Structures are given as C-alpha cells and as structure tokens.
Amino acid sequence: MRTVLRFVAAVVLGLALSLIGVIAVEFYSSIVHPFPPGIQQMEDPEKQMEAMCVHVANYPGWVLASVVPMWLGTVCLGVYAARRIQGVAAALTVAAPLFLALGLNLSMLPYPWWFTAAMLVGFPIAVWLVFTASQPRAVGEGPEQDAKEVAV
C-alpha cells in the first residue's frame, strides 16, 4: 500500500511541477507576445479558436525558439521528480500525458515546422536525459566516494 501511495504522490507531484512550468512559460509568452485585445471575451468557441490560430501563426521566431528549452525544461522537471520519488514507472506515467498534450497542442495550432520538429525530437531526448541523469548509483558509489576520489 505504501508503494502505491508513493507512486500516486510521485505522479501527482511530477504533473503538478510540469503544470507550474507550463503556466510560467505561458505567462512569459503572454508578456513577449500578448494576446490581441478581446480574444478572451469572445463567446463563440470557433471564432476564439480562429483568433488563437492567427495569434500562434504570428509568433515571432525568437519567441518560439526561446520557449523550446522552457517547455522541455518543464518536462524534465516533472519526469525527474517522479523518477527520483518512485522510479521509472512513475516517470513514464508523468511523461505520457505530457507527450499527449504536446501532440494535441501541435496538431491544433499552426506552429512552424521547425518548432514542431524541435518539440517532437526534443521531448524524448529530454526524457532520456532525465533517465540517464537520475540513474541510481551502484553500491559503494555516491558523494562520499566521489569526494574520496577527488582527494586522492
């Protein structure tokens, strides 16, 4: 039972950290490329989606280039937290809905091809980097052992 609770806590924390990262990236994006006036007050969802597509199509390249590492950082943050708390299954459970949300976002909005490619290639690389950086050390390895090797 303890393992199940730890798994759930790891997934919830990982997703929460990723959500906080997404909110931060969206806040940054709204500052450097603000929404057109009145888009939030639109009643018709179709018109609002059309306005959003126009907004995204007009993103400056530098803004998109700056958010690629930010988005991938949010992935790393959530996956890393889940991996450290409960392991591979929790990390993959966090990564899966993030990847699905990324795919949905990229399929709904008219991003340039290079941004789509960077995100689709960068996502698995980010997850792989988290997995390699957070691998448990073998017995006898660790900060104490590292300190001994430096002192020698």
Tens-place pLDDT, residues 21-39: 999 999 999 999 998 887 7
List the chain pLDDT tens, one digit each, 152 residues.
888 999 999 999 999 999 999 999 999 999 999 988 877 777 888 888 888 899 999 999 999 999 999 999 999 999 999 999 999 999 999 999 999 999 999 999 999 999 999 999 999 999 999 988 876 555 555 455 544 544 55
Q: Are 92 and 7 in contact (CB under 8 A)?
A: no
pLDDT of residue 74: 95
DSSP 3-state of 135: coil
Number of independent structural domains in the chain: 1
pLDDT of residue 137: 53
Q: Is the pTM of this model over 0.85?
A: no
DSSP 3-state of 146: helix
pLDDT of residue 49: 87
Question: How far is Cα 126 from Cα 17, in angstroms, rounded to an integer?
Answer: 15
Residue 69 domain boundaries: 2-151
Q: Are 91 and 78 in contact (CB under 8 A)?
A: no
Token representation of residue 98 = 């993030």
Question: How far is Cα 44 from Cα 42, in angstroms, rounded to an integer?
Answer: 6
